[in-house]
Amino acid sequence: MNSIKALLFKLFFIVLLSACEAPPRTGGSGNNLHSTEIITVDTVSANEEYVMITTAINMPMYVNHDQAAFKMWAKKMGVKASILGPSEWDIPAQIATFEQVIPQKPAGFLVNGTDPGIAQVINKAVDAGIPTVVYDSDIPGARQHSFIGSDWYEMGRLQGERMVKILNGKGKVVVMGILGMTNMEAGFQGFLDVIKKYPAMEFIGKYDDKANVELAAKITADLIVAHPDLAGVAGFDGNSGPGIALSVKEANKIGKVKITTVDAEPEHLQLVKEGVIDYLVGQKRELFTQMGAQMLFDMRHKTIAFSKNDAKAGVVPIPKKIITGSIEIDKSNVDLFIK
């Protein structure tokens, strides 16, 4: 009797073990594209739905640029555009939302590349055969069909060159942004690579403002006290510029502390017009989502085919990576951007 029980027990465990399905070993490159067939459809229908997966869906920059352009595109094409994600900056919630939409197999995913942690779920969508484009920041380890975004190294390089130019090649400078984020770090590198070439330029350090206006202002105020001869500050997130500008204004250092930063929101533009900020590198965010969505559409409807069956042949019929380039703004052209 006992031996039968034991046998049953063993059998149970064998069944259980054989029912285990190990996760894929690597999150890496695109060589297993052959295994999944992209879902393609010949006819365009009004019901086909393109889903944007983002986080902090009420952030003004996202609403005014990314989401507005995406919605406009969908209207023009006569398809549905859905924007999903948590109302706060919450990556696990973005992932949870993404995971729950995948089984519904929408026509395509436009994913805001918020955090390297979303790589796995992007791969899940790709493995489900759904056209997937990541925008804004590239995600290492993700196998999305295309990435579209800015070249942050280039944005850093542009800021560095402009900083050198307005400071006549000498002075103390710092950079500010979110430390540890891949795109920001690339921007810092681009900035530094330029500064290094000028021996009279002195680089003081990198500071973490956590994308927070108050914190950026506080850091700047402290820096001005610590280094009365501070010559320039370069910002790398959307809130760096306004924060730096606030402290420079309060310290009566307008013109003495030069500011270059990213983004071209109305606030930034106004500060350029006032002469507080000297130079802006804007992103072409509308292109991220408008072109990104168009690529999803083209992929689904096989607008361009490179073979009899691109999916089977392992061909992704859209660009692997699109760099949208930057918009440079200073006092000379700022009026053209103010609405």
Partner 1 sequence: MIKDRVVTLSATILLLCIVMSFLFPSQFPTVDNFSQIMLNLSIDTIVAVGMMLLMISGVFDLSVGSIVAFSGGLAGYLMYYHDVNFLVAIVAALSGSLLIGFINGFLITKIGINPMIQTLAMMGVVRGLSLMLSGAGIQNFPYEYNYIGQVKILSLQSPIWYMFAIVLIFSYLFKNIAFFRRYYFIGSNEKAAHLSGIEVEKMKLWGFVIVGLLAGIAGILLSSRLGAALSTSGKGLELRVITAVILGGASLAGGQGKIVGAFLGAAFMGIVGNILILTRVSGYWQEIILGIILILAVGIDQLIQKKK
324 binds partner 1 per the rule CB under 8 A: no
- In the bound state with partner 1, the residue whose beta carbon lies nearer, of 75 and 170, is 75
47 binds partner 1 per the rule CB under 8 A: no
DSSP character string of 197-264: T-TTEEEEEEEE-TT-HHHHHHHHHHHHHH-TTEEEEEE-STTHHHHHHHHHHHTT-BTTBEEEEE--
- In the bound state with partner 1, the residue whose beta carbon lies nearer, of 20 and 336, is 20
Asked whether the beta carbons of 322 and 146 are under 8 A apart, the reply is yes
88 binds partner 1 per the rule CB under 8 A: yes
Least distance in angstroms from the C-beta of 282 to partner 1: 24
84 binds partner 1 per the rule CB under 8 A: yes
Structure token digits, residue 30: 């695109």
117 binds partner 1 per the rule CB under 8 A: yes
Rounded to the nearest 10 degrees, the angle between the axes of helix 119-127 and helix 91-101 is 10
179 binds partner 1 per the rule CB under 8 A: yes
Binding segment toward partner 1, per CB under 8 A, in 101-109, 248-256, 285-293, 309-317 = 101-109
Among 96, 221, 251, 323, contact with partner 1 (rule: CB under 8 A): 96
110 binds partner 1 per the rule CB under 8 A: no
Strand partners, 79: none
The single residue listed with the structure tokens 């507080």 is 276
Least distance in angstroms from the C-beta of 328 to partner 1: 28
Task: Measure the CA–CA gap between 333 and 330, rounded to whole angstroms.
Answer: 6
Look at residues 141, 119, 150, 258 and name the one whose alpha carbon lies nearest to residue 201.
Answer: 258
27 binds partner 1 per the rule CB under 8 A: yes
**Both ends of the chain: CA-CA distance in Å?**
85
Beta-carbon contacts of 75 under 8 Å, excluding residues fewer than 6 positions away, are: 81
Binding segment toward partner 1, per CB under 8 A, in 112-120, 161-169, 230-238, 286-294 = 112-120
Rounded to the nearest 10 degrees, the angle between the axes of helix 240-250 and helix 213-226 is 40
22 binds partner 1 per the rule CB under 8 A: yes
Binding segment toward partner 1, per CB under 8 A, in 15-23, 189-197, 269-277, 304-312 = 15-23
Among 59, 72, 89, 215, contact with partner 1 (rule: CB under 8 A): 89
141 binds partner 1 per the rule CB under 8 A: yes
Residue 86 phi, psi (nearest 5): -75, 160
Least distance in angstroms from the C-beta of 106 to partner 1: 10
What ranges in 118-206 are assigned the alpha helix state H? 119-127, 152-166, 182-195
- In the bound state with partner 1, the residue whose beta carbon lies nearer, of 16 and 336, is 16
Least distance in angstroms from the C-beta of 48 to partner 1: 14
45 binds partner 1 per the rule CB under 8 A: no
Helix (H) or strand (E) holding 60, with range, is helix 60-61
- In the bound state with partner 1, the residue whose beta carbon lies nearer, of 140 and 275, is 140
Task: Measure the CA–CA gap between 187 and 97, rounded to whole angstroms.
Answer: 30
Among 30, 78, 92, 228, contact with partner 1 (rule: CB under 8 A): 92
Question: Under the rule (CB under 8 A), what is the footprint of partner 1?
Answer: 16, 19-23, 25, 27, 57-58, 82-92, 95-97, 99-104, 115-117, 119-120, 140-141, 178-181
